[in-house]
Chain A
């Protein structure tokens, strides 16, 4: 207590109990991931006790054709689902914001249904739906991923719409009117004024959709065929036999991939822009 300046009310970082709390939270959140990453270098088949450093499981993972294929599938699906949900979600948000029409509340509610409905129900629903309409399963790659991609778009685009909608609330409609007043057509006003305003929310929405799609297990499990294994489903099937460092290695690659992607997006947009979207 001596020789210390007084701690101002908002200087939380200087309070010991606050620092320990933050530390504990971080530990709780990240310890499993860190353990997973460390054990990917473990030189042991069972992967229970540390036996020494090795990179051989990375080699093994990258040489495991099934795993690589699943990874490529997952990334392809995530990429396609993100693009399509971005377009549908943004358009839906703009429509709900701009226009008045009958049953608007109903449309709005129905649209966010995929967020609320338990994934397992959605999964079963998709399974039955695709079976009933005889959706072809023997198409060449990447068309054989269409069922999963469609399912992913269904639960991703409401999130995009939600983020874009929140951003639209802060849009000054007079800016759009000003553009039209200066001679802009509807499209020019959209492109030059509304779209730049929405950009941060589009980036945030895309990130959200991408990660949601990439790590989805339940819905994918119900919509994937024998030839369309995604990464989470593949990992699940591998884990059923034993948790080898190979799984850890593959997961680590995926984590690094998503972190890098997020980092690029943040760098491109600025952290402020993305937090502005909410």
Chain B
């Protein structure tokens, strides 16, 4: 349903250079109205620079940014129809909550009565009713962030920009805020553009994610596509954890393919890849998509691995590392070729983690549609 809407932000061939360093390298992307858009990438990848260019705190070296169809090149930050929630929240320390939230309205000359109503409404929205007279130093980080959110939302911007909104919160609060932010966005219907380096945050909140690497868009896709169909090794590795093996494409037909990986053996797929035959490719295999078996279950394993047209996706190895995380256990398994493969196994019953231990010989299988073939 969001597909049909006009892009509210159009980024056209935008580059930003600081001296000799290129922070943003010729990025073009559209952000649709009503979207929860996330810019995801490691620190220093240029995602924050891009956000600051949308807000107007940096000017593009090249290219154009359009907000709601208007070129923003010559529009200063205080005249743009966007508002930003800063990483440090930047709540004004000498003003109480009401003054903070009402600041934008006050300087734009809104009447006192309207300021009162809108501030109350905004505080209600971020669940800060009753905190009107608090000073920022009497509030927790989470509460200050809500002040910053309310202060931006009260301006009714077309786009709300959030710079690493959850990075300073503890794990529990972060998980809660992820839901609340998504909920809030749903309620107010404003386009949210968030910058984060946290893939969980991106996957859980976003309607679409742009993965940024070294100033370029590595992939732009909805969260599930990003995880299940990564476009390249960078995305596969950055989003979630993954095992990557280098190999050669030996078979590539519309309904099947095979990759010969020196480290893993032959990997069979039940779909075509449309890559050049004999090409150097990479296999990406998620840890949770690999099944573990004790040796001796041979037949069952073979039967389970039978879904590839031409062969079985099997491997053997020795457990060299284990880490029990409660809901899952991670195993680092040394393959016969010496490489390490990571497998995660859900602890479906209370004693599942006791099934395997260090130095156990194990077999693994995975389904023929699990591996992803990456050409770059």
Closest chain A residue, CB of each to CB of B103: A182
Are A179 and B57 in contact, CB atoms less than 8 angstroms apart?
Answer: no
Which among B31-39, B87-95, B209-217 touches the partner chain? B87-95
- Interface size class, chain B: 20 to 34
Asked if A183 meets B104 with Cβ closer than 8 Å, knowing A177-B57, A196-B94, A197-B94, the reply is yes
For residue B76, give the distance in angstroms from its CB to the closest CB of chain A.
8
Complex CA gap A5/B155 in Å reads 60
Given contacts A177-B86, A182-B151, contact A192 B103 (CB under 8 A): yes
Contact yes or no, A180 B78, CB < 8 A = yes
Complex interface: chain A residues within 8 A of B152 (CB): 181-182
Residue contact A177 to B77, C-beta cutoff 8 Å: yes
- Taking CB atoms, residues of chain B closer than 8 Å to A192 are 92, 103, 107
Shortest CB–CB separation between residue A187 and chain B, in angstroms?
11
Q: Which of A158-190 contact B (CB under 8 A)?
A: 172, 174-175, 177-185, 188
Please tell me which one of the listed residues A172, A184, A193, A197 contacts residue B78 in the complex, with CB atoms under 8 A apart. Answer: A184
Known contacts: A177-B57, A196-B94. The answer to whether A183 contacts B155 by CB under 8 A is yes
> Considering only CB atoms, which chain B residue lies closest to A172 in the complex?
B88
Measured CB to CB, the nearest residue on chain B to A193 is B92
Q: How far apart are the CA atoms of A182 and B86 in the complex, in Å?
A: 12
Rounded to whole angstroms, the CA-CA distance of A15 and B84 in the bound complex is 54
Cβ of B91 to closest chain A Cβ, rounded Å: 8
Give A177 Cβ to nearest chain B Cβ, in Å. Answer: 6
Q: Please name all residues of chain B whose beta carbon is closer than 8 Å to the beta carbon of A185 when the two chains form the complex.
A: 78
For the complex, what is the distance from the CA of A193 to the CA of B79, rounded to whole Å? 18
Mark B residues whose CB is within 8 Å of A: 55, 57, 76-79, 82-84, 86-88, 90-94, 103-104, 107-108, 148, 151-152, 155
- By a CB distance below 8 angstroms, the chain B residues around A188 are 107
Q: Which residues of A contact B104 (CB under 8 A)?
A: 182-183
Chain A hits for B82, CB < 8 A: 181
- Measured between beta carbons, the chain A residues less than 8 angstroms from B151 are 178, 182
Residues of A near B79 (CB, < 8 A) are 183
Residues of A within 8 A of B57 (CB): 177
Can you list 28 contacts pairing A with B, beta carbon distance less than 8 Å? A174-B86, A174-B90, A175-B90, A177-B57, A177-B77, A177-B84, A178-B84, A178-B86, A178-B148, A178-B151, A179-B92, A180-B76, A180-B77, A180-B78, A181-B55, A181-B78, A181-B84, A182-B78, A182-B83, A183-B79, A183-B104, A183-B155, A184-B107, A185-B78, A188-B107, A192-B103, A196-B92, A197-B93
The reply to whether B77 and A181 form a contact with Cβ atoms under 8 Å apart is: yes
CB distance from B308 to the nearest CB of A (A): 54
* Minimal Cβ-Cβ distance residue in B for A173: B90
| Chain B residues, CB < 8 A from A184 | 78, 103, 107
Bound together, the chains give a CA A230 to CA B155 distance in angstroms of 57
Closest to B86 in A: A174
- Chain A contact residues: helix, strand, loop or mixed: helix
**Residues of B close to A178: CB separation below 8 A:** 84, 86, 90, 92, 148, 151
- By beta carbon, the residue of chain B nearest A191 is B107
A residues less than 8 Å from B87 (CB atoms): 174
A177 touches B155 (CB 8 A): no
> A183, B90: Cβ atoms under 8 Å?
no
Q: Which residues of B contact A172 (CB under 8 A)?
A: 88, 90
Contacts of A196 in B (CB 8 A): 92, 94
Q: What's the Cα separation between A248 and B164 when bound, in Å?
A: 64
For the complex of A and B, list the 10 residue pairs with the smallest distance between their C-beta atoms, beginning with the closest.
A182-B104, A174-B90, A178-B90, A174-B86, A196-B94, A175-B90, A180-B77, A180-B78, A183-B78, A183-B108
B110 CB to nearest A CB, Å: 10
Chain B residues near A174: list those with CB within 8 A.
86-88, 90
Interface 1/0s, chain A 139-153, versus B by CB < 8 A?
000000000000000
What 0/1 pattern do residues 29 to 48 of A give for CB contact below 8 A with B?
00000000000000000000
Closest B residue to A188 by beta carbon equals: B107
Give bound CA distance, A53 to B148, whole Å: 65
Q: How far is the CA of A214 from the CA of B78 in the complex (A)?
A: 44
* Bound Cα distance from A200 to B240, whole angstroms: 49
Nearest residue (CB) in A for B88 is A174
- Interfacial chain B residues near A175, Cβ < 8 Å: 90-93
Question: Measured between alpha carbons, how far is A166 from B290 in the docked complex, in Å?
Answer: 58
Q: Is B107 a contact partner of A183 (Cβ separation < 8 A)?
A: yes
Q: Which residue of B lies closest to A182 (CB)?
A: B104
Min C-beta distance of B267 to chain A, whole Å: 49
Nearest Cβ on chain B to A41's Cβ, whole angstroms: 46
**Residue of B55, B88, B91, B103 with highest tally of chain A CB at under 10 A:** B103
Report B-chain residues with C-beta under 8 Å of the C-beta of A193. 92
What 1/0 flags go to A180-222 for Cβ under 8 Å of B?
1111110010001100110000000000000000000000000
Q: Give the distance to chain B from A217, nearest Cβ to Cβ, in Å.
A: 39
Residue among A172, A183, A192, A193 having the largest count of chain B Cβ atoms under 10 Å: A183
| Extra inter-chain contacts (13) besides given A172-B88, A185-B78, CB under 8 Å | A175-B93, A177-B90, A178-B84, A178-B151, A179-B92, A180-B77, A180-B78, A181-B83, A182-B78, A182-B151, A183-B78, A192-B107, A197-B94
